[in-house]
Amino acid sequence: MASRRQLKLGAFMRPVSIHTGAWRYPGAAPDANFNFAHLKRFAQTLEEAKFDAFFMADHLALLNMPMEALKRSHTATSFEPFTLLSALAAVTERIGLVATASTTFDQPFHIARRFASLDHISGGRAGWNIVTTSNPDAALNFGLDDHVPHDERYVRAREFYDVVTGLWDSWADDAFVRDAQSGIYFDPDRLHVLDHKGAHLSVRGPLHIARPVQGWPVIVQAGASEPGRRLAAETAEVVFAAHGSLAEGQAFYADVKGRMAAAGRPRDALKILPGAFVVVGETDAEARAKRARLDSLVHYDSALASLSVALGHDASRFDPDAPLPEIPETNASRSGRERAIALARRENLTVRQLAQRLGGYAGLAFVGTPRTIADGMEEWLETEGSDGFNVMFPDLPGGLDDFVRTVVPELQDRGLFRRAYDGTTLRDHLGLARPPNRFFPDPA
């Protein structure tokens, strides 16, 4: 079984949970976004389960939602990713640590330096989730009145990536000779000054930190737009995808892997890991009930806003405890509207339940016994829907512990997931090659 293709599993984390009602769930740690002890415990548990990576969500402003909804959300306070992941690096040994950082609102010299530092501190476990930051409120926190347009953000992102990876290549791996006898600390011939002058960025370099342990930290992206897919095919090593169905996943998988061939990259050099919300129960019915209970903790006022947006129609006059009425056609996104209606019909949800689902977490979900969940994940892997998943836990620590205690062993028994780490770096876990240094291509 050892040679069977295996799932890659990241844990996509917010301190309290991705689900907006989770802080009210029995056993939750509603103060985890203030309290490092919880995060340490979560990361260590994920490492015991041999997860590939701990993946920290981020945003650069308060989430853009009405105050009536925001005041009910635990997302209003959270740790900053670099400080959190660096602290976790010191109390874990093997698990990868993926931090989100924006190419629109930060400087490539800072980003290159911090990821290099995190990679050295962690012994080669850092990954950079490149985001261009679509929240317009973020611009206002960084001295910009208007948000940078989408396409321009992607042009800058590509240049930013070139600069950051170029800075990581400032030093050959053998540059630091540290010869105490002669007194030579480094060989100047093994140092490269980038001297980048481009359309958006001007950065001299070199970076004043040695090349990262992994050469480059692992490059992660999530963009699903046309420029996002192009950037991913050219540069990404992990894509954090968001799909509602296996068919969508397969189409995305075929598209991005096809683009890679066109960009001259082997298909295996990029792992596609959709986000997957996972709710475990001893029976499928118990798991569904657990999810329903969790959704019921999303306040109806907050949930209604999500439903109205999805439907393109004010849902506040609907009877919350009746089935969804017929909705007239509007100019809103047809796919969002149709998905919401189909979901309500399929699961026989009331207006309230549908709203709470949309206000909680409405993307791809595996809900059931460990066997049901493993069946689902196996199908995605075997039919080229994905290379694994970024798992989202419904509640912490309970949902995480359930997954680790029951689903991981089921996946291991099927030969679909590792029982031990083979290597020490995040690249080792993901089966990604260490990139050569563009300025010093000779092996050290």
Q: Is 439 in the site for its own copies (CB under 8 A)?
A: no
Q: Is 396 in the site for its own copies (CB under 8 A)?
A: no
Question: Closest approach of Cβ 75 to its own copies, in Å?
Answer: 8
Q: Which is nearer to its own copies, 126 or 270 (CB)?
A: 126
| Span from 58-66, 274-282, 326-334, 378-386 in contact with its own copies (CB under 8 A) | 58-66
Q: Which is nearer to its own copies, 35 or 308 (CB)?
A: 35
Residues 220-259, interacting with its own copies (CB under 8 A): none
Q: Is 94 in the site for its own copies (CB under 8 A)?
A: no
| Span from 135-143, 255-263, 303-311, 362-370 in contact with its own copies (CB under 8 A) | 135-143
Q: Which residue in 44, 65, 134, 137 binds its own copies (CB under 8 A)?
A: 137
| Span from 180-188, 268-276, 330-338, 409-417 in contact with its own copies (CB under 8 A) | 180-188
Q: Is 62 in the site for its own copies (CB under 8 A)?
A: yes
CA dist 16 → 77, 97, 216 (Å):
10, 18, 30
Q: Is 114 in the site for its own copies (CB under 8 A)?
A: yes
Query: x/- binding map, residues 296-335, to its own copies, per CB under 8 A?
Result: -x-x------------------------------------
Q: Is 186 in the site for its own copies (CB under 8 A)?
A: yes
Q: How many CB atoms lie within 10 A of CB 40?
A: 16
Q: Is 208 in the site for its own copies (CB under 8 A)?
A: yes
CA dist 339 → 37, 244, 342, 358 (Å):
39, 9, 5, 11
Q: Which is nearer to its own copies, 41 or 418 (CB)?
A: 41
| Span from 45-53, 185-193, 239-247, 403-411 in contact with its own copies (CB under 8 A) | 185-193
The residues that bridge with 390 in the sheet, in sequence order, are 10, 275
Q: Which residue in 71, 150, 345, 371 binds its own copies (CB under 8 A)?
A: 71
Q: Is 426 in the site for its own copies (CB under 8 A)?
A: no
Q: Is 286 in the site for its own copies (CB under 8 A)?
A: no
Q: Which is nearer to its own copies, 128 or 403 (CB)?
A: 128
